[in-house]
Structure 1
Amino acid sequence: MPFARHLILAMLGGALCATAAIAHENENPAVEARHSQMHLHAFNLGILGRMAQGQAEYDAELAQVAADNLAVIAGTDWHAYFPEGTAVGEVEDTRALPAIWTNMADFEAKQQALADAAKAMAGVAGTDLASVQGAMGAVGETCSACHKAYRQPD
């Protein structure tokens, strides 16, 4: 009986791994990359946001690291993450609206605004809490502006 139970558990584990591998294999690499990029944005913004809102103690070193990370991530060239043919309805697991590709100049301007706001945050994050709080507004506004225009609502 124990052998049979172990065999069944091993088979179930193998099936779960195979299902996850197939699901991962079917995801578009560009979509996967932009999801990863957005998760990195969210992770670093979360650190800064919790400090700015008083949910975490201000730590100048950690704030600076998070802001520097955000500036690097936001400053990358996003074209590889958004190739044509990866909008809602064209691939699975995306909320990128087709308007990105019909309004590419505006999309690029919004991305540049985020890069600029993130760079400004990196310039002050290690200074003091008030500076982080002041810079968070501009970063949040740039995220919101792009998501309103180019991300399908939940």
Structure 2
Amino acid sequence: MGFYKTLYGAALVAAFAAPALAQDMNAIEARQGQFKLYGHNIAVLGGMAQGRMDYDAEMAQTAADNLFHLTRHDQSRLWPEGTDSSMVMETRAKAEIWENLDDFTAKFVALQEASAALQGVAGDGLDALRPAVGAVGASCGACHEDYREES
């Protein structure tokens, strides 16, 4: 009888944990999707800034607008505690995010500010674009250095 009680208890715990795990996985997938969209737009802007593709004012402005709006997406439900790389294999988010949430948030605000500055100059020519793209890259890198596992 003890075995069945244990089995029943484990099934009950799993039944209650499954919705929370599904929500956490949804949050991870959503934030990863957001990062892919960041990368898609930054690749366009970086390609122009580095001379790997011709500068196109309209394309640069669109990518900068996209990046600006992506950084304004509400983050509150994308980072539930326990969705770090030590708990979930499908993520590269370090546990340090939740240990240093104020610093992590400050780094995200820096990305928001850099993307706003980039949006303001993206269509103004390559000389204006290059330093603004560099500032966005630096803000991304600062966060990755502290809060993202290597791949």
Could you say whether these structures have the same fold, taking a TM-score greater than 0.5 normalized by the shorter chain as the test? yes
Amino acid at match of 1:38: F
Q: Per-residue deviation at 1:26?
A: 10
Aligned to 1:153: 150
Spell out the pairing of 1:10-25 with structure 2 (5 A cutoff): none
- The whole-number CA distance in structure 1 between the counterparts of 2:142 and 2:71 is 15
Q: Deviations over 1:77-133 (max 9, x none)?
A: 322111111011212210100110010000000000000000000000011011110
- The whole-number CA distance in structure 2 between the counterparts of 1:43 and 1:130 is 22
Aligned to 2:89: 92
Instruction: Decide which of 107, 114, 133 is 1:110's aligned counterpart.
Output: 107
Is 2:125 the partner of 1:135? no
Aligned 8 A contact 1:44 1:67 in 2: yes
Aligned to 1:65: 62
- The whole-number CA distance in structure 2 between the counterparts of 1:90 and 1:118 is 31
Aligned to 1:74: 71
Aligned to 2:42: 45
Normalising by structure 1, what TM-score?
0.81
Aligned to 1:21: none
Q: Deviations over 1:18-74 (max 9, x none)?
A: xxxxxxx89810110011000000000000011111111111011000000001111
Normalising by structure 2, what TM-score?
0.82
Amino acid at match of 1:51: M
Q: Per-residue deviation at 1:141?
A: 0.6
**Structure 2 unaligned regions, length at least 5:** 1-21
Instruction: Decide which of 24, 28, 31 is 2:28's aligned counterpart.
Output: 31
Q: Give aligned-pair identity as a percent.
A: 46
- 3-state secondary structure, aligned to 2:137: helix
**Structure 1 unaligned regions, length at least 5:** 1-24
- The whole-number CA distance in structure 1 between the counterparts of 2:76 and 2:129 is 29
Amino acid at match of 1:126: G
- 3-state secondary structure, aligned to 1:82: coil
Aligned to 2:13: none
- The whole-number CA distance in structure 2 between the counterparts of 1:29 and 1:74 is 19
Aligned to 2:4: none
